[in-house]
Structure 1
């Protein structure tokens, strides 16, 4: 009994205490032989900074292409910014305020279409500061939100929104209810507008669906002389496709108006392009009567043909 007890005590006295290990310290130690994060070279920093500066400077370049909202394919159309104006064309501005007035009439308000029209006109012009836009839209006198939206997109150009009520009232007074419903107001309104807004003595009427590729100020150099309006020829539409020759012959035989030609009309003559007009408001008094008369007669004859 005594010998076994002494051997157990001897073994216990000879046991060496072990040093406790700090596992928490060893777990977070980073050894130098492991892979460290690569240090980027200074050249990479310089190239990245130069790329950011280059992309920022691109924002100051003028637009070279645009997409019309009415195009279902959303094709990019380049601006014709490299065309040089003809040396024989002179710039003529309004005598009162020195501006080029651009008028457009829209039956249903579409800010996207108006924005494309204004942007294409400004981008193609050599004198964007001289352009003054007059957009005639329904309820424009009460709709201030649309005006402020356009001013956010175009803060610098002169831009106004006008109502259509006064122009429509004049057309209604000169026509019956049935005639008024059959009239194309977009074709007649440009000739009524100067009687409502007398400050517009000379202006360029542009259809809202038109995209201008050339410089619109070149049109102001056209000498209208004693004429009330000027329009380009549209040979894709002929007179005989718009009205029959029998109707024209009947009008010439029965009606005696100063604006009816004495000589027979050329049946396949090119039609005027009414989407772009140069109008002299001072010469519109007699011309307006002729426009309304022809609109009534041709609409009346067209209804008779379809009956």
Structure 2
């Protein structure tokens, strides 16, 4: 036992204490608050300021493309701002105030659609300061918030919001309740507006969903002569697809109204495009009566044809 004890003491006595290594010498010495951040060069400041000024100036350039809110694909459409007007087209404006009046009727207010309509019209026009917009909305001039939003987008434009109540009242008085419910007010309202707003003697009606790519002032040079309105032809829709030729022949033989043509109707004639109209308000006295008469006669004719069909 003593031998084992001596061997343990000898091994223990032969151990040498290890000196701790100084690892601080391997690290870099830290001197706080002596190493400052690098100062950027003045050239970088100048370039950054020039970039900000350049981006700000880009906001004053006219719009070259737009996206229609009704387009599900949200494609960018370029404005046709480089087309030159026809030399044979003359510019005619309202004789009273020297403005080109543009009217649009919207059953449910959508500011995005109106903004696109106004922007496309102003951007493609050579005389944007001569355009005066009249937007007929459900609330009209009572909707101050919508008006100021449009003025923020188009601060230098002439635009007004009008109500629809008076126009609807005239149509209701001239028709029955069933006829009124079946009428498309967006197609009839443009012809009733001059009787409510007598200052609008001649104007251009534009559907709110329409995007104008050409110069709208060129339409004012069209000579209406004795006609109350002018519309473009839509040959994708034909007359015989809406009304039977037998019905038209029967109406011409039996009815005598000033709005019925004396000559036979062309059965495959192109239908008018009612989304863009040039209207002379001084010659619209009998229009509402004619529209309601045709609507009533055609509805009766459709019922008669259905009832006369063999079982």
On whether the aligned pair clears a TM of 0.5, the verdict is yes
> Is the CA contact 2:141–2:160 (under 8 Å) kept in the aligned structure 1?
no
How much has 1:150 moved relative to structure 2? 1.4
Q: 1:119 to 1:248 in 2, by over 3 A?
A: same
Q: Deviations 1:254-303 (Å, cap 9, x if unpaired)?
A: 21112111222111101111000000011111334323322332344446
> Alignment partner of 1:166: what SS?
helix
Q: 1:4 to 1:207 in 2, by over 3 A?
A: closer
Q: Deviations 1:136-155 (Å, cap 9, x if unpaired)?
A: 11122432222222122222
User: 1:8 maps to what in 2?
Assistant: 8
> Alignment partner of 1:204: what SS?
strand
Q: 1:196 to 1:43 in 2, by over 3 A?
A: same
> Is the CA contact 1:224–1:230 (under 8 Å) kept in the aligned structure 2?
yes
How much has 1:33 moved relative to structure 2? 16
* Distance of 1:181 and 1:280 partners within structure 2: 27
Deviates more, 1:269-278 or 1:285-294: 285-294
> Is the CA contact 2:80–2:213 (under 8 Å) kept in the aligned structure 1?
yes
How much has 1:35 moved relative to structure 2? 9.6
Deviates more, 1:277-286 or 1:48-57: 48-57
Q: 1:299 to 1:187 in 2, by over 3 A?
A: farther
> Alignment partner of 1:285: what SS?
coil
Deviates more, 1:141-150 or 1:65-74: 141-150
User: 2:20 maps to what in 1?
Assistant: 20
Q: Deviations 1:186-211 (Å, cap 9, x if unpaired)?
A: 11111100001000000000000000
How much has 1:95 moved relative to structure 2? 0.4
> Alignment partner of 1:55: what SS?
helix
How much has 1:119 moved relative to structure 2? 0.8
* Distance of 1:72 and 1:5 partners within structure 2: 95
> Is the CA contact 2:135–2:160 (under 8 Å) kept in the aligned structure 1?
yes
- In structure 2, stretches of 5+ residues that fail to align are 304-311
User: 1:35 maps to what in 2?
Assistant: 35
How much has 1:20 moved relative to structure 2? 19
> Alignment partner of 1:97: what SS?
coil
Q: 1:70 to 1:299 in 2, by over 3 A?
A: farther
How much has 1:118 moved relative to structure 2? 0.7
How much has 1:48 moved relative to structure 2? 3.5
Q: 1:45 to 1:286 in 2, by over 3 A?
A: same
How much has 1:55 moved relative to structure 2? 1.9
> Is the CA contact 2:105–2:135 (under 8 Å) kept in the aligned structure 1?
yes
> Is the CA contact 1:182–1:299 (under 8 Å) kept in the aligned structure 2?
no
> Is the CA contact 2:174–2:289 (under 8 Å) kept in the aligned structure 1?
no
Q: 1:13 to 1:58 in 2, by over 3 A?
A: same
> Alignment partner of 1:278: what SS?
strand
* Distance of 1:68 and 1:144 partners within structure 2: 24
* Distance of 2:2 and 2:248 partners within structure 1: 147
Q: Deviations 1:221-265 (Å, cap 9, x if unpaired)?
A: 111111111111111111111212122122112211121112221
Q: Deviations 1:63-98 (Å, cap 9, x if unpaired)?
A: 011111111111111111111111111111100011
Q: 1:220 to 1:297 in 2, by over 3 A?
A: same
Aligned residue pairs, count: 303
Normalised by the size of structure 2, how large is the TM-score?
A: 0.83
- In structure 1, stretches of 5+ residues that fail to align are none
Computed over aligned residues only, the root mean square deviation of the Cα atoms, in angstroms, reads 5.5
> Is the CA contact 2:141–2:147 (under 8 Å) kept in the aligned structure 1?
no
Q: 1:142 to 1:7 in 2, by over 3 A?
A: same
